[in-house]
Structure 1
Amino acid sequence: MKDYIKVGKIVNTHGVKGCIKCVPFTDDLERFDDLEYVYTEKDNIKRKIKEVWYRKGTVYLTLENIEDMSTAESFKNSYISIFEDQLRDLPEDTYYLFELEGMKVYSDEGEYIGEISEIYQPGANDVYEIKNNDKTYLIPAVKEVVKEVNMKDRKIIINVIEGLLE
């Protein structure tokens, strides 16, 4: 597992007192209420969360030592992260997205399909981007397709339905 886990991307500032606007990388927005601090990727500094609020799926944070718009602006397009020990336990058969990236994907007949290079969250279900040399496949993360996720062996088994790999 990685040391730092990205939990949001700083996309803008808010106001003149150093508030940052973040796109969260979590399904549970209120997750930020439980965090005491985050790490800013730009300077790799642990910063105490002074205030957090939410609006329209976006997280607004006031962080320690970011107290004006100019300083906040310098963090734009960088990430905020947490350490592994700040992660919440997940229910059985659910995974953090970063845990799935890089996993090898096989058909239920044992054929190697490729490796998960990216995960998209367009709406109803996640979509796994699987790359194998010059080929790229987009696989819906639904039970009809994803049959097994083996974290120990870093391997995913999928049911290759008609038209899926074309």
Structure 2
Amino acid sequence: MEDLLQVGIITSTHGVRGEVKVYPTTDDPRRFRRLKEVVLDTGREKLNLEIEGVKFFKQFVILKFKGLDNINDIEKYRQKSLYVTRKNAVRLQRDEYFIADLIGLKVQDEDGTELGTVKDVIETGANDVYEVEMADGRSLLLPAIKQCILNVDVENGMMQVHVLEGLLDL
């Protein structure tokens, strides 16, 4: 399991007082109002940043970090990811999972036959779709519905599924 969960990507600066425009990668951008700190991955190190201010502009979140007070302090962090620790992550409901925890799970059918590994989670309007990379290189797309996803065991790295008729023929 991942220790850090991505919540956004700094796209650009906003003004000259150290604010940044963040593209949220979380389901609920309003959660930034409740966050006190985030972890910035600079590529070389991870920095804990205290959030001083939060505003919203179109599909972006405008953040101000304590101690970064001008455009020169923040410019170097463009295109860098922001994360939260699991302690600061949103509480999940029953049968909800973080995408980062699903990627890499081994997938087996109800008979125990291994089908492959979860490669990606595609977010659609109705329900998510799990892309399973099969041993032969093909991809199997499984809708994340109760009829298909029988059991998810993140701690043991396993997902048990029922493959609907015809899905393997695609």
SS of residue matched to 1:60: strand
Counterpart selection for 1:85 from 87, 94, 101: 87
Q: Which runs of 5+ in 2 are unaligned?
A: none
**Number of matched residues?**
166
Q: 2:77 corresponds to which residue?
A: 75
> What amino acid is the match of 1:149?
V
Report the secondary structure of 2:131's partner residue: strand
What is the distance in 2 between the residues matched to 1:103 and 1:49?
34
Assess, with a 3 A threshold, how the Cα gap between structure 1 residues 13 and 138 changes in structure 2: closer, same or farther.
farther
Q: Establish whether residue 146 from structure 1 lines up as the match of residue 149 from structure 2.
A: yes
**Which amino acid in the other structure matches residue 80 of structure 1?**
L
Aligned Cα RMSD in Å? Answer: 2.0
Cα deviation code 1:51-101 (max 9, x no counterpart): 112233422211123333344332122101122221233222211221212
Q: In the TM superposition, what are the counterparts of 1:61-140 in structure 2 within 5 Å? A: 61-133=63-135, 134-140=137-143
TM-score normalized by the length of structure 2: 0.84
Cα distance in 1 for partners of 2:103, 2:62 equals: 27
Aligned counterparts of 2:127 and 2:11: Cα–Cα separation in 1: 24
Looking at structure 2, the residues matched to 122 and 13 of structure 1 have their Cα atoms a distance apart, in angstroms, of 30
Distance 2:160 2:22 in 1: 34
Aligned to 1:50: 52
Structure 1 unmatched ranges of 5 or more = none
1:21 is the counterpart of 2:21: yes
Instruction: Kindly report structure 1 stretches of 4+ aligned residues shifted beyond 6 Å.
Output: none
CA distance in 1, matches of 2:12, 2:142: 32
How far residue 48 of structure 1 moved from its aligned partner, in angstroms, is 0.8
Residues 127-147 of structure 1: CA distance to partner in whole angstroms, max 9, x if unpaired? 222223422233222223222
Once the two structures are aligned, what percentage of the paired residues are identical? Answer: 31
- Distance in 2 separating the partners of 1:122 and 1:40: 28
Q: How far apart are the structure 2 equivalents of 1:15 and 1:58?
A: 14
